[in-house]
Amino acid sequence: MATDSAFKHVYGVVMAGGSGTRFWPLSRRRHPKQLLTLFGRRTLLEQTVARIRPAIPLEHVYIFTGEPILQNIRRLLPGIPSSQILGEPASRNTAPTAAVAAQEIVRRDPEGLMVVLPSDQIINKPALFRRLLATACHVASQPGRSVVLGLKPTRPETGFGYIRLGRRLGRVAGHEVFHVVRFTEKPALAEARRYVASGRYLWNGGIFIWKAATLFENLQRFQPEMADLARRIAEAGGICSRAFRRLYPKFQKISIDFALMEKISDIYAVPADIGWNDVGSWAVVYELSHQDSERNVRSGPGLSLDSQRNMVVSPKKFVVTVGVHDLVVVETDDALLVCARERSQDVGKAVQEIEVLGRDDLL
Amino acid sequence: MATDSAFKHVYGVVMAGGSGTRFWPLSRRRHPKQLLTLFGRRTLLEQTVARIRPAIPLEHVYIFTGEPILQNIRRLLPGIPSSQILGEPASRNTAPTAAVAAQEIVRRDPEGLMVVLPSDQIINKPALFRRLLATACHVASQPGRSVVLGLKPTRPETGFGYIRLGRRLGRVAGHEVFHVVRFTEKPALAEARRYVASGRYLWNGGIFIWKAATLFENLQRFQPEMADLARRIAEAGGICSRAFRRLYPKFQKISIDFALMEKISDIYAVPADIGWNDVGSWAVVYELSHQDSERNVRSGPGLSLDSQRNMVVSPKKFVVTVGVHDLVVVETDDALLVCARERSQDVGKAVQEIEVLGRDDLL
């Protein structure tokens, strides 16, 4: 099977360090978004791992997360060697994680390719996703190349980075591949509209594929301090050593996008129409959930009177709505959120205010 | 002091049988509106009793309520003889209560006057209220007369009955008194507007004053079955007897307004501008509560982000509102209400639906 050979040297690096304040009060520091069961019975992290598992064996999967939820994740994913589920001693965004992962994978397999994956997205076409990953790995197997899965934009979203496509490379393993002209930061609305209308831009969903050695060479050139620190950790024993715990906090806090993708060349994009969603707010959960005849979404007991287009999440408490619309209501044992659905991207701001109030028990 | 003599033969009859579903989820069958502390530290019932206490001694006060909350009320009001705090074995509205109370008072004091008072209203001018009661008692001390305190209407309310004033009787004990042409049922809006504009109508707030003997004579004429049943209860031992428990459920369920006030003549009204409010819904509680600079009312911990004119009642849980306005949010241990403020009169409908669902634990 083509897939088998395509994934022979491939390692999955799942970025599970996010704090997910936008899903407060369900998401907390010790229970962030990737551990929520927003859809179905499995957490977003479990779904992420299940999605790559048919292609990448669990022994080839690394999960990087925050220390508070490390043991939770080890319990949740017993098939992954616990030495490959790592708690970062400090939150340093994705570039340092990729740097230490690259060192680890090169040591293990000099030909190793790494697939970097966020842990908190949904992809409705997992089989197609894996076929596109095979294409990406094929392209990335040539030294010096970086590859990104580019998501087809469906709206002028200002919360994502965009990928400007260049000339077509051709079909690789059955799928189109393009050169990338540049990565752009989150655009203003007018710009985002131009991007989407042009047909030459894709969303950057943070799914990257490189040879680990190529990634590290790029780091040495564009982020030499970061590369040096990653090398020192590797020489001192790698990601399971005390050196990892001691040195990791010295990394600069920076994303892969800023640290590398906006700087390097020889990047390729594989357009991926895979039913992708970053599930960025309660409003997205509402859109993706089953709505009743009044377009309400309800998780938990209760009743609605003359109420439309609300989402009510309350596992135990009986929730009655009367004459309200377009609200998000989320109830937990210690907190309650009542939010205009169109304002749900601002829940994170409320969480910041809770932090200012010193109510750490609610974070 | 004029007041002393005015109240010599006066007995208070407090109607505390209401179920107050409109304040769900705070009000329940075992914790109805009159037992809520919506304002200040005291329940509406305690405030009702405190209001008449300077005029009517507690030994002259009767409270009629439902059996589920009888013991609660006895604990709440230890100054009233427990033999005068009575649990009606069935809910029969106000007319049967007035009938048995009249029999009881006539037996105790043939000259006795009775003041019928709802238990769940607020009156901001209690001293003026008592002076007007003295006037009413003075008028009612002549046999055959019925007196009502009429509240000055401040809006074309369709939820109240109205009192059509006739010619002026004159000033009695310092206050104006009018003949009453008729009692009207709850009017339609256009009618209510005409009533208010005319200046000839007052609200009927359910505060009535009669000689107990007069009330009973009216009952004998217009509600002979009810009078007969009340007489049988009195002859069999009165309100503390087994006969009361056995016979009371046989009464027709009917209000004083329908049973008597719309039928009898020789009625007088004392206009009372006493800061009266029946506190009929959460919206009224909102209006009467202290509002912050964003016109939010909050009871309990939490924070508001871009939210205006909401009322949040949640004694323990931390409630965050984001981008919402004109909502009523009320949280208890087992239930949560999220209601458009202008729809808060419909909370009772939601309670009916809860009953249909068979969730008696929530009622």
Contact A338 B317 (CB under 8 A): no
- What residues contact residue B74 under an 8 Å CB cut-off, 6+ apart? B82, B85
Q: Which two tokens stand for residue A128?
A: 């197609």
Rounded distance between C-alpha atoms, residue A136 and residue A211, angstroms: 11
Q: How confident is the model at residue B2 (pLDDT cuts 50, 70, 90)?
A: very low
Question: In this predicted structure, what is the pLDDT of residue A19?
Answer: 78
Contact B322 A334 (CB under 8 A): no
Q: What torsion, rounded to 10 degrees, do the Cα atoms B281, B282, B285, B291 define?
A: -150
Q: How confident is the model at residue B93 (pLDDT cuts 50, 70, 90)?
A: very high
Residue A79, number of CB atoms within 10 A of its CB: 10
Q: Is the pLDDT of residue A65 over 70?
A: yes
- What residues contact residue B79 under an 8 Å CB cut-off, 6+ apart? B58
Q: Is the pLDDT of residue A297 over 70?
A: yes
Task: Spell out the domain ranges in chain A.
Answer: 2-277, 282-362
% of residues, chain A, pLDDT over 70: 98
Please check whether residue A101 is in contact with residue A212, taking contact to mean a CB–CB distance below 8 angstroms.
yes
CA A199 to chain centre: 24
Work out the average pLDDT over B246-250: 96
CA distance B295 to chain A (A): 17
Please check whether residue A116 is in contact with residue A16, taking contact to mean a CB–CB distance below 8 angstroms.
no
Question: In this predicted structure, what is the pLDDT of residue A4?
Answer: 56
CA distances from A81 to A16, A61, A107, A110 (A): 16, 8, 17, 20
- Residues composing chain A: 363
Rounded distance between C-alpha atoms, residue B341 and residue B347, angstroms: 10
Q: Is the pLDDT of residue B1 over 90?
A: no
Q: Is the pLDDT of residue A6 over 90?
A: no
My answer on whether omega of the bond before A25 falls inside 30° of 0, hence cis, is: yes
Using CA coordinates, name the residue in chain B closest to A362: B318
Work out the average pLDDT over B270-276: 97
- List pLDDT tens digits, range B30-45: 999 999 998 888 999 9
Q: Residue B359: which of A318, A340, A359 has the nearest Cβ?
A: A318
CA distances from A237 to A59, A66, A67, A231, B281 (A): 19, 20, 19, 10, 68
CA distances from B246 to A73, A163, A237, B15, B105 (A): 66, 83, 88, 20, 20
Question: In this predicted structure, what is the pLDDT of residue B39?
Answer: 87
Amino acid code (one letter) for A65: T
- Complete DSSP assignment for A152-206: PPSS--SSSEEEEEEEEEEEETTEEEEEEEEEE-PPPHHHHHHHHHHT-EEEEEE
Please check whether residue B177 is in contact with residue B166, taking contact to mean a CB–CB distance below 8 angstroms.
no
Alpha-carbon torsion B332, B338, B344, B350, what sign? negative
Question: In this predicted structure, what is the pLDDT of residue B4?
Answer: 55
Q: How confident is the model at residue A88 (pLDDT cuts 50, 70, 90)?
A: very high
Q: Residue A349: which of B305, B335, B353 has the nearest Cβ?
A: B305
Check if A50 contacts B (Cβ < 8 Å).
no
CA distances from B73 to A98, B35, B65, B89, B361 (A): 68, 8, 9, 16, 22
Q: Is the pLDDT of residue A205 over 70?
A: yes
Check if B313 contacts A (Cβ < 8 Å).
no
Question: In this predicted structure, what is the pLDDT of residue A1?
Answer: 39
Rounded distance between C-alpha atoms, residue A241 and residue A115, angstroms: 23
Contact B335 A350 (CB under 8 A): no
What is the pTM (predicted TM-score) of this model?
0.88
Q: Is the pLDDT of residue B207 over 50?
A: yes
Check if A25 contacts B (Cβ < 8 Å).
yes
Check if B35 contacts A (Cβ < 8 Å).
no
Question: In this predicted structure, what is the pLDDT of residue A93?
Answer: 94
Rounded distance between C-alpha atoms, residue B94 and residue B220, angstroms: 16
My answer on whether omega of the bond before B25 falls inside 30° of 0, hence cis, is: yes
- List pLDDT tens digits, range A308-343: 999 999 999 999 999 999 999 999 999 999 999 999
- Among residues A53, A28, A42, which one has the least CA distance to residue A117? A53
Check if A306 contacts B (Cβ < 8 Å).
yes
Please check whether residue A239 is in contact with residue A167, taking contact to mean a CB–CB distance below 8 angstroms.
no
Rounded distance between C-alpha atoms, residue B274 and residue B130, angstroms: 10
> Mean pLDDT of all residues in chain A?
95
Least confident of A4-8, A216-220, B75-79, B133-137: A4-8
The CATH code for residues B2-277 is 3.90.550.10
Rounded distance between C-alpha atoms, residue B282 and residue A99, angstroms: 58
Check if B188 contacts A (Cβ < 8 Å).
no
CA distances from B32 to A10, A203, A309, B230, B363 (A): 66, 56, 32, 27, 10
% of residues, chain B, pLDDT over 90: 93
- List pLDDT tens digits, range B110-130: 999 999 999 999 999 999 999
The full 3-state SS of B220-249, as one line of letters, equals HHHCHHHHHHHHHHHHCCHHHCHHHHHHHH
Give the bridge partners for B31, in sequence order. Answer: B28
ipTM: 0.89
Work out the average pLDDT over A120-131: 96
User: Looking at chain A from residue 314 to 343, which residues have their Cβ under 8 Å from any Cβ of chain B?
Assistant: 314, 317-324, 327, 329, 331, 334-340, 342-343
Name the E strands within chain B.
10-16, 61-66, 85-88, 113-118, 122-123, 146-151, 161-172, 175-184, 201-211, 267-272, 276-277, 297-299, 302-305, 311-313, 318-322, 327-331, 335-340
Rounded distance between C-alpha atoms, residue B90 and residue B254, angstroms: 12
Contact A322 B340 (CB under 8 A): yes
Q: Residue B336: which of A331, A339, A344 has the nearest Cβ?
A: A331
Buried b (16+ CB within 10 A) or exposed e, A326-362: bbbbbbbeebbbbbbbebbbbbbebbeebeeeebeeb
Contact B343 A329 (CB under 8 A): no
- List pLDDT tens digits, range A341-354: 999 999 999 999 99
Check if B358 contacts A (Cβ < 8 Å).
no
Angle, helices B94-108/B224-235, rounded to nearest 10 degrees:
50
Q: Residue A338: which of B319, B334, B359 has the nearest Cβ?
A: B319
Q: How confident is the model at residue B21 (pLDDT cuts 50, 70, 90)?
A: confident
Q: How confident is the model at residue B3 (pLDDT cuts 50, 70, 90)?
A: very low
Q: Residue A335: which of B305, B318, B362 has the nearest Cβ?
A: B318
Rounded distance between C-alpha atoms, residue B250 and residue B96, angstroms: 10
Q: Residue B338: which of A338, A350, A359 has the nearest Cβ?
A: A338
Check if A357 contacts B (Cβ < 8 Å).
yes
Work out the average pLDDT over B133-154: 96
Buried b (16+ CB within 10 A) or exposed e, B126-139: beebbbbbbbbbbb
Alpha-carbon torsion B272, B276, B280, B284, what sign? positive
CA distance A323 to chain B (A): 5
Q: Is the pLDDT of residue A177 over 80?
A: yes
Give the bridge partners for B171, in sequence order. Answer: B176
Contacts A–B by Cβ distance under 8 A: 128
Residues of chain A positioned with their CB less than 8 A from the CB of B24: 320
